[in-house]
Amino acid sequence: MDSKSLGILTLLAVLVIGILLTSGCIQKQKTITQTSTNFISIPIPIGSYSIANVSSSCCGVATESGIVGNIDDSRSFSNPRRYLAQLIWFGDCGYLEYRLKNPLVGNSRIKILRLFFEACSEAPGYGLNHKTDISIYINGEKVGTQTINGDFGGKRGKYTPEWWPINNTQYGKPIFIEIRKDGTYVGDSYNLDWTGKKKTKIHFKRVSDVGIEKLNLNQKFIKIRIGVDKDAQHKGGINLFGEKFGNYPQTLTLGLEYEGEKIYQPRMIDIIENPEKYEDKTVIMAVHPGGWGCPPGKATPIPAGFSRSAIMIYDNTGCLYGGGDILIGKILSPEVHTINTPGNETIVIKAKVKLDKNNIPFIAPVR
């Protein structure tokens, strides 16, 4: 082989090696930088607050079926039945603070935080021109204030129960808060399908420069405070609605858009009908404690290793044995119902789906 041919072969070899190395580097870079964006939404029962700083001169708690304790008695805010609340109100200034376990501590990174609730001001009876400035705090950081122009009544709220007097507050205004990297935004309309930004038709306006990095969301708990500040211009109190009062079938809800391990949010029926799909998957579920038995019509097979006195949980689609780590809420047995009676209180759990040797699904804590 002459020197010219050898030179050409050497050049080709160098080019091939370079291409292979470059391809390897590119592939390696893709592997390193590849991430996935996921979303979870956590319904927060409005009675599951950890702190209630309210005036006893005008306040109260109502469930779907009646008043908790006495009206204008702040002691009702510590009654165990307040976990069943569907309407909470107080006049003047004050706040409710919710403390929930952060489901994304570890290697996940929260990119956007969203918060939804239905609220209005609080006047005697109702007052369509009664203003209030509602302020929202996340982990102690004030992210924004929304002025609401009335305490709305005169016509029954779409989901307000019939027993509630028509001359009282009936419904509120939907409030969306979205905290991004560059600041906090407030939405101007309601859309139940808000789990992904592309699916909504909500138009947002920027209300503060508090961005997601200021909220210190890598700690064990997330604290949400909703109320009226002492120095607010309009100290018109607040009515806060659950999913069974007012005009919107949704309770206070926290949404987290994040990078990290995917967490699933199935219904009970989804797990029962497709157990292999959810085996060993991490799930977040809003459920009710079934105690030692499921509600009528929701019977479930007993997994291997469980007894008939094992604890169950259920939703409106089905019932399963087991339980998980409670993110927010409280099991009210024995304060409100016995252990062998299914409860109506809502708890939000993070758990793993497991299958026994016969492929019967059950719910287990995350280890």
Task: Encode pLDDT of 281-332 as tens digits.
Answer: 999 999 999 999 888 888 889 999 998 889 999 999 999 999 999 999 999 9
Q: Give pLDDT tens digits for 29-52.
A: 333 334 578 999 999 999 999 999
Quote the pTM value: 0.87
Count the Cβ atoms, other than its own, within 10 Å of residue 172: 25
Query: Which is more confident, 11 or 244?
Result: 244
Which CATH number is 38-259 given? Answer: 2.60.120
The pLDDT of 154-181, averaged and rounded, is 96
Q: For residues 320 and 293, is the Cβ–Cβ distance under 8 A?
A: no
All structural domains of the chain with their residue ranges:
38-259, 268-365
Is the confidence at residue 19, as pLDDT, over 50? no
Taking the C-alpha atoms of residue 255 and residue 81, their distance in angstroms, rounded to an integer, is 26
Buried/exposed code over 231-256 (b: 16+ C-beta within 10 A; e: otherwise): ebebbbbbbbbbbbbbbbebbbbbbb
The CA–CA distances, whole Å, from 54 to 76, 136, 240 equal: 11, 16, 13
Q: Could you tell me which of 41, 32, 103, 39 has the C-alpha nearest to residue 258? A: 39
Residue at token pair 């309309």 = 189
Query: Which is more confident, 189 or 61?
Result: 61
Q: For residues 87 and 65, is the Cβ–Cβ distance under 8 A?
A: no
User: So what's the pLDDT on residue 160?
Assistant: 98
- What is the percent of the chain with per-residue pLDDT over 90, rounded to a whole number? 78
The pLDDT of 200-223, averaged and rounded, is 91
Taking the C-alpha atoms of residue 367 and residue 354, their distance in angstroms, rounded to an integer, is 12
Is the confidence at residue 213, as pLDDT, over 90? yes
DSSP E strand boundaries for 102-140: 109-120, 132-138
Q: Could you tell me which of 31, 30, 32, 61 has the C-alpha nearest to residue 45? A: 61
User: So what's the pLDDT on residue 196?
Assistant: 52
Q: Which residues touch 44 (CB under 8 Å, ≥6 apart)? A: 98, 100, 224, 251, 252, 253, 254, 328, 348
Residue at token pair 């609080």 = 122
Three-class SS state of 288: strand
